[in-house]
């Protein structure tokens, strides 16, 4: 049996998928119901989206808003290039650069190296193309959500976590919500850097605000 692609790994419930993908909850629900971007992990009542679904959601959101004319950039093309890059997508060099996938305004799908050049030798300038992984709206970077945090689909179910650790940002934020101070959390996890713990709390706060704002906007106005 062939090994599963990293893109097929990860399991994000609706609110988590919406916050990480940068897609409003109402839009995500509609797309799931209309099979525009159905959840590939579980389509049951507890819908679950994969990491690859998050990238597809971002692409669809971008194509349907800022660049409706970019119809040639299909999700199949993007998936093919993502699979081609494989583990290189998660290789971060000493300067923090990674290879990535970009979609141009004309609909061309491009693999870009960490140096900023495309594999065809072109230069893609900022603003000319949409980076599937970069921060999108209120959503964070999908590989390096903060300097000391990482998202790797095959690690801790694709949850944001502290780099070089299996400690998830949700676990850290959960302790903070229970009243633990940063110093107390550091005592519980002495091998972790205080700045990384602080970034974990900050990330989860930003994701919660994004979801809360989406829920508020989706509610009908009171009569």
23-36 confidence digits (pLDDT tens): 999 899 998 988 88
**What is the C-alpha to C-alpha distance for residues 60 and 72, in angstroms, rounded to an integer?**
12
Whether residue 147 contacts residue 199, with contact meaning beta carbons closer than 8 Å, is answered with yes
- The class level of CATH for 145-223 reads mainly alpha
CA angle 170, 176, 182 (to 5 degrees): 110
pLDDT value of residue 97: 62
Residue 149 has pLDDT above 60, yes or no: yes
Residue 16 has pLDDT above 80, yes or no: yes
Per-domain boundaries in the chain = 145-223
Residue 68 has pLDDT above 80, yes or no: no
Closest by Cα among 218, 161, 220, 222 to 18? 218
- Mean of pLDDT over the chain: 79
Does the pTM exceed 0.85?
no
Alpha helices for 1-158 (secondary structure H): 14-21, 25-33, 51-64, 75-85
Model confidence at 1, in pLDDT bands (50, 70, 90)?
very low
pLDDT value of residue 119: 45
pLDDT value of residue 216: 45
Residue 10 has pLDDT above 80, yes or no: yes
């Amino acid at each position: 049996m062939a090994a599963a692609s990293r893109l097929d790994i990860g399991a994000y419930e609706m609110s988590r998928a919406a916050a990480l993908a940068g897609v409003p909850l109402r839009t995500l629900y509609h797309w799931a119901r209309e099979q525009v971007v159905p959840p590939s992990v579980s389509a049951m009542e507890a819908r679950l989206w994969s990491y690859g679904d998050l990238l597809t959601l971002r692409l669809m959101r971008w194509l349907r808003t800022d660049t409706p004319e970019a119809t040639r950039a299909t999700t199949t093309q993007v998936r093919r290039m993502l699979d081609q890059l494989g583990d290189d997508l998660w290789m971060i060099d000493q300067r923090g650069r990674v290879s990535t996938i970009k979609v141009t305004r004309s609909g061309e799908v491009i693999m870009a190296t960490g140096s900023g050049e495309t594999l065809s030798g072109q230069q893609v300038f900022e603003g000319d193309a949409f980076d599937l992984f970069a921060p999108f709206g209120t959503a964070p970077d999908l590989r390096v959500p903060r300097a000391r945090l990482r998202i790797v689909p095959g690690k801790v179910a694709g949850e944001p976590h502290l780099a070089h650790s299996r400690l998830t940002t949700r676990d850290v934020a959960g302790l903070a919500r229970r009243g633990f101070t940063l110093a107390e959390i550091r005592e519980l996890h002495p091998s972790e850097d205080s700045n990384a713990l602080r970034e974990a709390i900050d990330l989860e706060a930003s994701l919660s605000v994004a979801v809360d704002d989406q829920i508020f906007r989706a509610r009908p106005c009171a009569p």
